[in-house]
Amino acid sequence: MTKDKKLSITVQGSSITILSRKGKEYISLTDMVRSFEGAGALIEQWLRNKDTIIFLGVWERINNPGFNSLEFEGIKNLAGSNSFFLSAKKWIEATQAQGLIADAGRYGGTYAHKDIAFEFGSWLSPEFKLYLITEFQRLKDDENQRLSLSWNLNRTLSKLNYRIHTDAIKAHIIPKLVSQKQINYAYANEADVLNVALFGQTAREWRDSNPGEEGNMREHATIEQLLVLANIEAMNAEFIRMGLLQSERLKKLNEIAIMQLKSLVANNSLQNLASVS
């Protein structure tokens, strides 16, 4: 199970927590109201508003197939009356909502999916909302840049190891006085050993099953796959020098690729690497 990840941004002097949970990002409404007068009651005041309830209901219907529409209709009909009160926890429990999170404890609070948090920001202050969006986007741009750098680094490692790989093929597999066509075939054939070991298919099979995609399968690889590709290229070069048969090398490389990918995905190692790059 993937652990929650927390980052923070600063908006008009206030530190605001960004929570990543199950592939979605939530912004702390509790942090957002800290610098506003009457902070302790602002979230509940916003939730009393009928327009807020309608907005939350629309978001849930679009994004949450398990949303309880019958309970929502009852809440919507009561919203706006003087006696109406709604907390984030009550909303979540009644409707099975996913757009809000109410975490208890010292480091808890009320969080909202970014779409909802931006709407809450408009209610608090249009100026605050604009600064919030700007800082949130800056955070995402920084994350994307780090991921891009990691991807390019592993792509470069893969290319460097490919030179070691082709030198081993030239020295131990390609016989003397053969045609350029035969040489090209030998290189392609060994490249497909790596492709099958890591991706489970040859370059031709990938092209046949992805006719609309540009480039090759390696250009569509994940960071983890590129790192493993760089590793098994170097290993295959050594296996070639050791005189192992191609079938033996393929089996060993496939086992290594599976083991390394499981380790990388389980430990989320590259994401941690990207965060400190």
Interval 42-59: pLDDT, tens: 999 999 999 999 999 999
Q: How far is CA 226 from CA 71, 98, 140, 267, in A?
A: 48, 35, 23, 17
Rounded CA-CA distance 84/75 in Å is 9
pLDDT given for residue 35 in this prediction: 86
**What mean pLDDT do residues 1-24 have?**
80
Dihedral sign of CA atoms 65, 71, 75, 76 in order: positive
User: On the CB side of 100, how many CA atoms lie within 13 Å of its CA?
Assistant: 28
pLDDT, one tens digit per residue, over 134-159 is 888 887 766 666 555 555 556 666 66
pLDDT of 2 reads 53
Q: Is the pLDDT of residue 173 over 50?
A: no
Instruction: Using the predicted structure, report yes or no on whether residue 96 has a pLDDT greater than 90.
Output: yes
SS3 183: helix
Task: Give the model's confidence band at 241: pLDDT under 50 very low, under 70 low, under 90 confident, else very high.
Answer: confident
At 166, the pLDDT band (50, 70, 90 cuts) reads: low
Q: How many CB atoms within 10 Å of residue 76?
A: 15
> What is the pLDDT averaged over residues 226-246?
86
What's the mean pLDDT in 67-95?
91
| pLDDT-derived band at 258, boundaries 50, 70, 90 | confident
- pTM for the structure as a whole: 0.51
Taking only the tens place, the pLDDT of each residue in 216-225 is 888 888 777 8
Q: What is the pLDDT of residue 274?
A: 40
Whether residue 277 has pLDDT greater than 60: no
**For residue 263, what pLDDT band results from cuts at 50, 70 and 90?**
confident
pLDDT for position 272 = 43
Contacts of 9 (CB under 8 A, 6+ apart): 15, 16, 18, 132, 135, 136, 138, 139
61 versus 227: which is more confidently predicted?
61
* Alpha helices per DSSP H over the chain: 29-32, 39-48, 50-63, 69-78, 88-95, 114-124, 126-172, 180-199, 203-209, 223-241, 246-267, 269-276
Determine the pLDDT at residue 24: 86
Residue 163: pLDDT band with limits 50, 70, 90: low
The whole-angstrom distance between residue 115's C-alpha and the CA centroid of its chain comes to 18
